[in-house]
Amino acid sequence: MAELGPVLEVLLGGLMSGVLYSLVALGFVLIFKASGVFNFAQGAMVLFAALSLVRLSEWLPFPVAIALTIAIMIALAWAVERLVLRPLVGQHGLILFMATIGVTFFLDGFGQTIWGSNVYQLDLGISASPWFLLENLFPGGILVSPVDVFAAAVAGSLVLALSIFFHSTKIGRALRAVADDHQAAQSVGIPLNQIWLIVWSTAGVVALVAGMAWGSKLGVQFSLSFVALKALPVLILGGLTSIPGAILGGLIVGAGEKLAEFYIGPAIGGGIEYWFAYVLALAVLLVRPQGLFGEKIIERV
């Protein structure tokens, strides 16, 4: 029993940070499903949203700052649709991917130019002192950070809201139709431009939530953009087209890297958590290229 306490603590901590990976991956999946674009800029959107929020909240009440940041993310989605997607419609996926790399560098640079490039503290008003759970079972209990719990709860509700949106609204149905076959969707009168705007806006809001969660843990700074790269192995694990896959992939990566650090780390000198996810993803890629939860490709003969 004495052994189990620390393991559980590591596992829980891993799952919590996994939720944050999931959030970033979720943004990728949304955009990939609806517009077939592998949006490299998702990480930059996380940073940009967090920076906007933290700087705006310095001179505005917090709820107003959030509303304004959401508006900024929607404006960004609009600009991307107008200036990048629309002119490039029908082009090869690789060209669109390159375009999103352009967007990434623009957002990173532009964001720091207007908002500054220091490390900013994002205070969500949640107590920083950890909770100790199950103290009667384990000596010292299990340490859990309230910020992590809050982030997990927000992420959970976000996913729930999205899945309701996708499955029981007219727009959600249209989004799934576009994800399946955008030309056929266009042929029945679903306007792709509107759908893309909605999807990129949604991904922008998801990026904001991810940015808030990461930012309150690590401070809002340029390195957030890199943390977001952890979403890549998550995507490989979960499959590019599966929302549940993004969530589970994030949890697996989060928990896996912390456990690997805990068990194997001491033997080889630590640092495993920086590359564990990528090796795991590589292994999955070799066995199941569509990811663990990639949407089944329906093929009839």
Partner 1 sequence: MNALARPAPFDQPATPRTALAVHNIEVVYDHVVLVLKGVSLEVPEGAIVTLLGANGAGKTTTLKAISNLLHAERGEVTKGSITFYGEEVHRLSPSELVRRGCLQVMEGRRCFGHLTVEENLLTGAFTRKDGKAAIQRDLEMVYSYFPRLKERRKVLAGYISGGEQQMCAIGRALMARPRLVLLDEPSMGLAPQLVEEIFEIVDRLNREEKVTFLVAEQNTNVALRYARYGYILENGRVVLDGPAEALRDNEDVKEFYLGLSATGRKSFRDIKSYKRRKRWL
Smallest separation (angstroms) from partner 1 to the CB of 106: 26
Considering CB under 8 A, how many residues would be counted as binding partner 1? 23
**Which residue stretch of 45-53, 131-139, 179-187, 202-210 sits at the interface with partner 1 (rule: CB under 8 A)?**
179-187
Identified binder of partner 1 from the candidate list 64, 181, 274, 289, rule CB under 8 A: 181
> E-strand spans in 68-159?
131-133, 142-144
Smallest separation (angstroms) from partner 1 to the CB of 167: 9
Burial of 45 (0-12, 13-18, 19+ CB in 10 A): buried
Smallest separation (angstroms) from partner 1 to the CB of 292: 18
- When asked if residue 191 is in the footprint of partner 1 (CB under 8 A), the reply is yes
**Which residue stretch of 14-22, 66-74, 167-175, 212-220 sits at the interface with partner 1 (rule: CB under 8 A)?**
167-175
* Span 61-100, contacts to partner 1 by CB under 8 A: 89-90
Dist. CA 174–CA 186, nearest whole Å: 10
* Span 272-301, contacts to partner 1 by CB under 8 A: 295, 298, 300
- When asked if residue 127 is in the footprint of partner 1 (CB under 8 A), the reply is no
Dist. CA 166–CA 249, nearest whole Å: 20
Smallest separation (angstroms) from partner 1 to the CB of 87: 11
The full 3-state SS of 23-80, as one line of letters, equals HHHHHHHHHHHHHCCCCCCHHHHHHHHHHHHHHHHHHCCHHHHHHHHHHHHHHHHHHH
> E-strand spans in the chain?
131-133, 142-144
Smallest separation (angstroms) from partner 1 to the CB of 281: 25
- When asked if residue 164 is in the footprint of partner 1 (CB under 8 A), the reply is no
Phi, then psi, of 126 in degrees rounded to 5 = -105, 135
Dist. CA 102–CA 104, nearest whole Å: 5
- When asked if residue 36 is in the footprint of partner 1 (CB under 8 A), the reply is no
- When asked if residue 34 is in the footprint of partner 1 (CB under 8 A), the reply is no
- When asked if residue 186 is in the footprint of partner 1 (CB under 8 A), the reply is yes
Burial of 269 (0-12, 13-18, 19+ CB in 10 A): exposed
Footprint on this chain of partner 1 (rule: CB under 8 A):
89-90, 170, 173-174, 176-177, 179-191, 295, 298, 300
